[in-house]
Structure 1
Amino acid sequence: MIKPTPNPPVRLFTVSDGIDTEDLLVNLRETLASANALSCDLAFDLEGTKREELLGVAQLIELAQLLADRVHEEVGQAAAASN
């Protein structure tokens, strides 16, 4: 019998427990910045719809960076208020 949905993929990477939230956010921001740089560099080597698609991905990454920055600011403000 064929299953209607496949098994979920096995996770190759995990995030260790006990890492500070601010450290996680900084690493998230750096990862997004790297992904943005890669997508922009690749997009400028392309033409037409493929370039537009990759620039769209770059915009989504930039939006994620803005969201991560906002969370990082709020975590920093909450930490300062509690001290």
Structure 2
Amino acid sequence: MNKKIVPDPPVNTSTPDPETLRAEDLLKDREAIKRALDHYIDPPAPYTEKPRRPSTMFIVAPSMDTESLLAHACESLATASVLTSDFANNLTGPQRYSALAIQQSIMLAELAVNRALDNVDPA
């Protein structure tokens, strides 16, 4: 017996009408566009109904004044900057550059907080 190399063609060899295929594709595209627009323009109810309630385990006293909060934030950022710089000195290559990029972001935030402090209490 000879083994057949080429498989048998499918039973239904008729091709669908190109107009029908195009109409089906357009319908699928419209449905996808509608889903995308609904997702971004009209988000599902859980996003709009219930606002996020942060945990009250750690809370800043509501009576804290803005200047004290900014001063504390500035000190925390300065500490984070020094720690990141020290950490970066122990690294090499791409990891070092990543740590230095983080340190630069911290320094920029520290500058912004310092400017806010100047605005709150100009010396």
TM range (shorter): 0.7 to 0.9
Q: Which residue of 2 aligns with 1:21?
A: 66
State how far apart, in whole Å, the 2-side matches of 1:32 and 1:17 are: 22
Write the letter of the residue equivalent to 2:120.
V
State how far apart, in whole Å, the 2-side matches of 1:25 and 1:48 are: 35
Match of 1:35 among 64, 77, 80: 80
Which whole-Å deviations, capped at 9, do the CAs of 1:20-69 have from their partners, x for residues lacking one?
Answer: 11111110000000100110000000000000000000000000000000
Q: Which residue of 1 aligns with 2:12?
A: none
Which structure has the bigger radius of gyration? 2
TM-score normalized by the length of structure 1: 0.77
State how far apart, in whole Å, the 2-side matches of 1:36 and 1:11 are: 28
Q: Which residue of 1 aligns with 2:112?
A: 67
State how far apart, in whole Å, the 1-side matches of 2:56 and 2:96 are: 31
Greater share of residues in helix: 1
State how far apart, in whole Å, the 2-side matches of 1:42 and 1:11 are: 32
Match of 2:101 among 53, 56, 59: 56
How high is the sequence identity, in percent, across the aligned residues?
38
Which residues of structure 1 form unaligned runs of 5+? 1-7
State how far apart, in whole Å, the 1-side matches of 2:102 and 2:114 are: 18
- Give the match's secondary structure for 2:121: helix
- Give the match's secondary structure for 2:75: helix
- Give the match's secondary structure for 2:91: coil
Q: Which residue of 2 aligns with 1:3?
A: none
State how far apart, in whole Å, the 1-side matches of 2:66 and 2:55 are: 25
- Give the match's secondary structure for 1:18: coil
